[in-house]
Chain A
Amino acid sequence: MSPETVEASRGMMGEFAHRLRKNPLAVFGFVVLSILVLVAAFAPLIAPYGYSDQFLEHAFEPPNAKFLLGTDEFGRDILSRLIYGARVSLQVGFVAVGLALSVGGFLGAVAGYYGGFCDNAIMRCMDVLLGIPSTLLAIAIAASLGPGLVNLMISVGIAQIPFYARIVRGAVLSVRGQEFVEAARAMGSGDLRIIFRHIIPNSMAPIIVQTTLDVAYAILSAAGLSFIGLGVQPPFPEWGSMLSGGRQYIFEAPHMTLFPGITIMLTILSLNFLGDGLRDALDPKLRR
């Protein structure tokens, strides 16, 4: 990265961070997410037990001093499994959205910038993808690729591509006609340079917001896929599969479904708060 892009982002980011700080909910979301990221990164250090350590004599124990969130049917510590599960969920969330953003973003940018036939061809393909409910699409892709973490990320990512293509295309369309783009062309800039140096940086606001909201959606659909057995395979813990594993014992050991559920809810909520905060901070019209 050249020194001047760093400088540019600092100027923008400074003002933006200041506005974000004024929103307590966004700050809450940001803090929770930061903690989750740290927990996932340092899982082996933080988790009291390994994710597959079985204490069969302690099976179905409710929360107590030894197992803070209780144990499951094999006597595995739920807290430890949630901590390791954060790795999967966050990875799936960010990688899937990253995939969707890069592919969908590229397609959208090309469609919006060149317009005409190219625009029609790309966007009609996206419309076809949009016609299929995205959860069903992800299930179909995951089923054909087979279960597993990487396939989970790919299937959730592909299902999100058309949303990004639409958003980026719209953003590019609104910037493309502006005079500084004409000026860049008069400077002798090529198309790629115009797209990446002038158009994309000016259409970041809706993209950033959509990304944060979609990370939540990706985590949720990954949990959904794991719930029906198409995601991460046991014994590795995934929030969705923990939830699904606990549902047979929901009356005897409600903590087995309660805590994964609360974790998922908290994560999604934080991402949504952060996304809302980002939208307010980036959109001058919504500024209070």
Chain B
Amino acid sequence: MKNSEGKKGNILDVRDLVIHYELEESTVRAVEGMSFTLGYGETLAFVGETGAGKTTTALGLMRLVPSPPGRMVGGEIFFEGRDIMKASGEELRAIRGEKISFISQDPMTSLNPVMSVGSQIAEMVVLHSGLSMRESRARAEEMLSLVGIRKERMGDYPHQFSGGMRQRVLIAIALACSPALLIADEPTSALDVTIQAQVLNLMKGLKERFDTSMIMITHDLGIAAETCDRVAIIYAGRIVEMADTESLFTEALHPYAIGLFNSIPRIDDDRDLLDALPGLMPDPARLPQGCPFHPRCAHASQECENSAPGLEDVGNGHLLACWLRGKRNSEVGSVAQ
């Protein structure tokens, strides 16, 4: 049952992943050269605005980007040492659900309305374990009680459950085969705040119990801080900054990350207007030349307009994609006050 025991290194190693949506008139560059690693048992947050490419990246990891129009243009995805980009359809089906599980954002529509929840959990088990239907149902009952739903409700249908309960069912399905990697795509954004906390705690507990690595996609920095070991800030299909949660929250370096932190209301601060980032995220079909953030950046220079900075280590595993990295103390640091 333990996934990471005795294993060192990375469960996931993504290099230069490029995913485009090729439309008739234009090409949407949803993911532009994404590289990151995920250690065994680690939780990584993808934080970014809507349309930044978070979900596309996650779908890409399972080769589930709808095609057409989506196309995995390039890159490598090493999952437990195997290149997913080169896997066959059959290998992919064996990986999906069993090794990599996905929790989607909307619990209202992600369950089949004409199948009882028990059957839906059991189906996942039957698909990957080779157990009989009876044994799979026993496993489903076990999973249901793990997520805090009475097993008497096995035969109930999705419409008989509330949003939070359905999200629990989705979690039960996702973890039924104890996957090595769980990808959660904004698992709480459709839930109200009190239920959010419950579901997050549940996921945290179960992740530790099953010893699963996790990618948590969110646009909520609070959720990232609470549940994740490392955080990747994503902007226009790229990681602009990635560091362990503590160092990112204490000293964010990228102007975009700093802007995000400044736009969060603080309880000890009395002000009428929040510091919003000026402008909007660029249209991914018409990305600007150079650094994609430069039109909104207060510190943009000629260099930023000419070429895009790569992701580089600025010390202690803190990765940053910004030309200003050498001058952070003198200029950008003052913005972070």
Contacts and interface: CB of A to CB of B under 8 A. Distances in A.
Given A178-B109, A179-B104, A187 B173 contact: yes
Interface in B239-297: none
Nearest to A199: B112
Contact of B114 (A8, A183, A190): A8
Contact of A188 (B96, B112, B113, B157): B96
A187 B123 contact: yes
A272 B286 CA distance: 57
Interface residues of B, number: 34
Given A186-B97, A188-B96, A189-B127, A4 B118 contact: yes
A53 to B, nearest CB: 51
A45 interface: no
B73 to A, nearest CB: 21
Nearest to B89: A190
A179 B173 contact: no
Contacts of B96: 185-188
A19 interface: no
B110 interface: yes
Contacts of B157: 11
Contacts of A283: none
B123 to A, nearest CB: 7
A187 B96 CA distance: 5
B124 interface: yes
A276 B62 CA distance: 45
A284 to B, nearest CB: 11
A104 B252 CA distance: 61
Given A3-B133, A186-B64, A188-B95, A179 B110 contact: yes
B128 interface: yes
Contacts of B95: 188
The prevalent SS among residues of A at the interface is: helix
Interface in A65-102: none
B93 A189 contact: yes
B106 A187 contact: no
Contacts of A178: 109
Tell me which of B110, B114, B115, B157 has the highest count of chain A C-beta atoms within 10 A of its own C-beta.
B114
B64 A180 contact: no
Interface string B119-132: 10011100110000
Given A4-B133, A202-B114, A186 B104 contact: yes
A186 B102 contact: yes
Nearest to B98: A188
Interface string A1-35: 01110011001100000000000000000000000
Given A4-B118, A11-B155, A188-B96, A180 B62 contact: no
Interface residues of A, number: 25
B196 interface: no
A189 B109 CA distance: 17
B94 interface: yes
Nearest to B58: A186
B77 interface: no
A178 B111 CA distance: 10
A197 B111 CA distance: 12
B116 A11 contact: yes
A148 interface: no
A44 interface: no
A184 interface: yes
B124 A187 contact: yes
Contacts of B112: 180, 184, 197-198, 201-202
Contacts of B128: 188
B230 interface: no
A252 interface: no
Contacts of B93: 188-190
Interface in A145-185: 178-180, 182-185
A185 B64 CA distance: 8
B168 interface: no
Nearest to A193: B127
B137 interface: yes
B163 to A, nearest CB: 14
A8 to B, nearest CB: 6
16 contacts: A3-B133, A4-B119, A7-B116, A7-B119, A8-B114, A11-B116, A179-B104, A180-B109, A180-B110, A183-B110, A185-B96, A187-B96, A188-B93, A188-B95, A188-B98, A197-B123
Which 7 pairs between the two chains have the least Cβ-Cβ distance? A188-B97, A188-B96, A187-B97, A186-B102, A179-B109, A188-B93, A4-B119
Interface of A: 2-4, 7-8, 11-12, 178-180, 182-190, 193, 197-198, 201-202, 204
Interface of B: 62, 64, 92-98, 101-102, 104, 106, 109-116, 118-119, 122-124, 127-128, 133, 137, 155, 157, 170, 173
Given A201-B112, A202-B114, 10 more contacts: A4-B133, A8-B116, A183-B102, A184-B112, A186-B64, A187-B101, A187-B123, A188-B95, A190-B93, A201-B114
